[in-house]
Amino acid sequence: MTEQAIHDARQRRIRRQLRRGSGLAAATDEGVRRVRHQRIHFVSTFDKPMLAIVLLLVVIGGLMVFSATWDWSNQTYGTASGFFVEEHLRNVILSTIALFFFATLDYRFWKRFAIWMLLFTIVALILVRMYGELKFGARRSFTGGRLQPGELAEFAVVLYMAAWLGSKSARVDSFVFGLLPFMAVVGVVSGLIILQPDLSSAGIVALTAGVMFFVAGANLAHMLAVGGISTAVGFIVVQNWPYAQDRIANFMAGLSDITLTDYHTLQAITAFVRGGWIGVGVGQSQQKFGALPAPHTDSIFAIVGEELGVLGAAVVVALYIAFAIRGFQMARIAKDNFGSLLCVGFTSWVIIQALLNIAVMTGVVPSTGVPLPFISFGGSSLMVIMIGVGLMLSVHRVATRPKPTSERRSDIANIDRSWRNRRSRLSGAGDRAGAAPKR
């Protein structure tokens, strides 16, 4: 077989591979012209399972927020739907717009802003400690609780960790260039959040970053060291804050006698007991009338259990499981490490937060204030989570969209040039000046 015949056979094989991977009828000039005129519908590029999961969670959240606030809204706004329309529905609409905006743009565009986002978050955490609104002995927010830098920190750490750990120059398994920078970043951000004080958000930041660090290829011994140091720091913090000691003491007492647990957990368990298997019906909760603290935010899963029962609560848990499965599937098909770590980070962030909220409401862990993702009422909390989902959708869109015609031709041309120039990379008599060519 001649050299030209081998070259032509190679090109035909390349065209067949491109045809199988992209669904082209043929990799000929006529086929290229057909592909050029094809228009892929914008909506079809989105990951429909993830959109469906998020939409269902948001709809359930809207229903529960309305149910939990209609009486208070009637007293405050003069109408049962006033709070829902003016606050929650506005937040949902703005967050949905943000989701599609970030899903439309290429996620790699935001990589260059990761370090600036982290620095801005650190400054915001310092300012909220100095000038934030004082509520229940803590300074955690601005503008009436709508803007909480601690929630922004959770997003910023995921973005920065994905950019750093996903870079080609990252040496994740190194002690000096991997473990120490990781502990410095997580330690500074978590430490500033603890000073608010907000132990739950600090824990979410540390756990999410730890998952990303492990997935990126961290040394197992380093991970064990981080776990040991985190446990020691947590023990010291608890020993120096009476309110944390009280919560742990009440939790331990509740393990032997549920009536001795803290008030919040006891009321949440009462809501689940009243709900039974099928619930008392939407809008029929009694615990929301003054018994449950923050029924539309931290305690909303208890309202779900009371009004929709164990079956309704199980549906919510199943949706979070589906979110986790789909999120990690999206991480596997990402085109680069940055996109893969983004999906891992945001998926872990949502699941850790959901597990912590559900665990508190069911008395599995000591009481703490954590909203339920997509379901609890919130301004900045819902916004940053929806933006995170938008970036995950962008990762999926970039990974699954077909290459432009120009890129396909470039792939064939590059391989073609590689074949034609193959002999020039080999040393031999034919490469020397005046040498007779080999036949």
pLDDT of residue 415: 39
Instruction: Give me the long-range contacts of 209-215 (CB less than 8 A, separation at least 24).
Output: 209/157, 209/158, 209/161, 209/182, 209/185, 210/186, 211/344, 211/345, 211/348, 211/352, 212/158, 212/161, 212/162, 212/165, 212/341, 212/344, 212/345, 212/348, 213/161, 213/165, 213/172, 213/182, 215/341, 215/344
Domains of the chain, residue spans:
42-104+242-402, 111-240
What pLDDT tens digit does each residue of the chain (439 aa) get? 566 666 667 667 766 665 555 444 444 444 444 444 444 455 677 889 999 999 999 999 989 888 888 877 777 777 777 677 778 888 899 999 999 999 999 999 999 999 999 999 999 889 888 877 777 667 777 766 667 888 889 999 999 999 999 887 778 888 888 888 899 999 899 889 888 878 888 889 999 999 999 998 888 888 888 888 888 887 787 777 776 777 777 777 667 767 777 777 888 888 888 888 888 888 888 888 877 887 888 888 989 999 999 999 999 999 999 999 999 999 999 988 999 999 999 999 999 999 999 988 888 887 777 889 999 887 788 999 999 999 999 999 988 876 554 444 444 444 344 334 434 333 333 343 444 444 3
pLDDT of residue 234: 78
> Given CA atoms 392, 394, 397, 402 in this order, what sign does their dihedral have?
negative
